[in-house]
Amino acid sequence: MKRMAVVLAAGKGKRMKSKLYKVLHPVCGKPMVGHVLDAVQKVNCERSVVVVGHGAEAVQSFLGDRAEYALQSEQLGTGHAVRQAEPLIGAEQGTTIVICGDTPLVTPETLENLIHQHESEGAAVTILTAVMEDPTGYGRIIRDADGSVIKIVEQKDGTPEELAVQEINTGTYCFDNSLLFSALSKVTNNNAQQEYYLPDCITILREQGKRISAYVTADISESIGVNDRVALSEAEQFMRRRLARHHMLNGVTIIDPDSTYIGADVQIGSDTVLHPGTILKGNTVIGEDCVIGPNTEIEDSRVASGTTIRQSVLSETEVGQEGMIGPFAYLRPGTVLGDQVKVGDFVELKNAKIGNGSKVPHLSYVGDAEVGSGVNIGCGAITANYDGMNKFKTIIEDDVFIGSNSNLIAPVRVGKGAYVVAGSTITNDVDANDLAIARARQENKAGYADKIRAKAKAIKEQK
């Protein structure tokens, strides 16, 4: 049977008090609507329609061609929102999930179970529900003796007996697609808000003698709909714990999950250890047998197996196997490190390719450079890549030794096996196996230090 999804993402989210549209607020680094679309597509929904309104261009820009779009120019209720998808999928036969774009914690496993129950029971609609210890404020699920749903009762309309029910409506549904749009055509806005409500379809289908089912999620966190910053924080906490558990069960050691941040799309190999204060974001991939942290931030980077990174920041960087980075290194976009590269404390790299076995141990800057294998760059050495208007490349070939406090003024090339003497400022190419010295000749003036001190003392006494 064909599967489809309608994702409701048209609301501005006034309670967020934000210039950013509600469904674009991130949870563990990914906008909420991205989590929702991931979930429905992982259960093989062949067509996914995202209903947009406020911030339509921004939502479409983020999701791109992953979905089809329907515009709800006026927000006239959830039923009205779903009807905007009718021109796209109204004629389809199959099963349709209707889900809000601000429910990032719903899992593909739960949606799969929801669909399975819906189809196996031959229901017209199956509601995703949850059992809450304190259901105050939520619509209650009222069931018949056979377990089918009679109705959903809102807090303000319930009797004491109905309000004692702890099973609540999460706002996620599974519909027979034809029956969904047939029922929506009969929904009216005869209510105080003059809006068209999707749950009214349940009453309509029940009156037609159709079966209304409900599936109870085992994880109460999946019921969280994010309407304000408090709920956003709660969703973030639940997602962080879920992701940490996932990685730990896959063989990753996380010393302190509560102080470790792992983004939703991060991949980590087995036997890697994450120390407290580790932050892994974006499309980061960490290999096996790595040691990361403490207090390390890595974003959109790839780290090969066996690498240790301590107290450092990496962004859009590739690190080879068995590297040693940090503490206090800063690897900026475009950096590519080979295998067994050492990058030490207070080193900054930007758009630099460093070959296998090379070392940049401490207090150096290497930018817009190609560095070969077996190179040693001494303390305080820099590549001067920017002249105030343009950037230029430095090329350092294999087995070069760059002495401490050297300046390489790009564009410049240092040939294979060459030596650059400490304190040199190199403005011309150095041929292979040459020794480059570029510094002023030292001159010692005998006894001159005493004259300087005497002069300073005289000036002080005059004051």
Quick: pLDDT tens for 44-53: 999 999 999 9
> What integer pLDDT is reported at residue 428 of this predicted model?
97
Burial call 112-132: b when 16+ CB within 10 Å, e when fewer: ebbbebbbeeebbbbbbbbee
Please state the φ and ψ torsions of residue 150, each to the nearest 5 degrees: -85, -45
Q: Is the pLDDT of residue 122 over 80?
A: yes
- Kindly give, in sequence order, each residue whose CB lies less than 8 Å from that of residue 312, ignoring residues fewer than 6 positions away: 296, 297, 325, 326, 327, 328, 329, 330, 331
Mean pLDDT along residues 344-362: 98
> What integer pLDDT is reported at residue 344 of this predicted model?
97
Mean pLDDT along residues 432-440: 95
> What integer pLDDT is reported at residue 54 of this predicted model?
84
Q: What is the band of 416 on the pLDDT scale with cuts at 50, 70, 90?
A: very high
> What integer pLDDT is reported at residue 367 of this predicted model?
98
Residue set of the binding site for Mg(2+): 102, 227
Domain boundaries, the chain: 3-223, 240-436
Mean pLDDT along residues 254-268: 98
> What integer pLDDT is reported at residue 94 of this predicted model?
97
Q: Is 116 a catalytic residue?
A: no
Q: Is the pLDDT of residue 147 over 90?
A: no
Q: What is the band of 86 on the pLDDT scale with cuts at 50, 70, 90?
A: very high
Q: What is the band of 137 on the pLDDT scale with cuts at 50, 70, 90?
A: confident
The CATH classification of domain 240-436, taken from the options 3.40.50.1000, 2.60.40.420, 2.160.10.10, 3.90.470.20 = 2.160.10.10
> What is the fold of 3-223?
Spore Coat Polysaccharide Biosynthesis Protein SpsA; Chain A (3.90.550)
Per residue in 309-328, pLDDT (tens digit) is 999 999 999 999 999 999 99
Torsion sign over Cα 150, 156, 157, 158: positive
Residue set of the binding site for acetyl-CoA: 385-386, 404, 422, 439
> What integer pLDDT is reported at residue 462 of this predicted model?
86
Collapsed DSSP state (helix, strand, coil) of residue 161: helix
Residue set of the binding site: 8-11, 22, 72, 77-78, 102, 139, 154, 169, 227, 332, 350, 365, 376, 385-386, 404, 422, 439
Crossing angle between the packed helical segments 108-121 and 32-42, to the nearest 10 degrees? 50
> What integer pLDDT is reported at residue 461 of this predicted model?
87
Mean pLDDT along residues 67-78: 95
Q: Count of alpha carbons within 13 Å of 457, Cβ hemisphere only?
A: 6
> What integer pLDDT is reported at residue 13 of this predicted model?
87
Q: Report the distance separating Cα 397 and Cα 360, nearest Å.
A: 14
Mean pLDDT along residues 115-132: 96
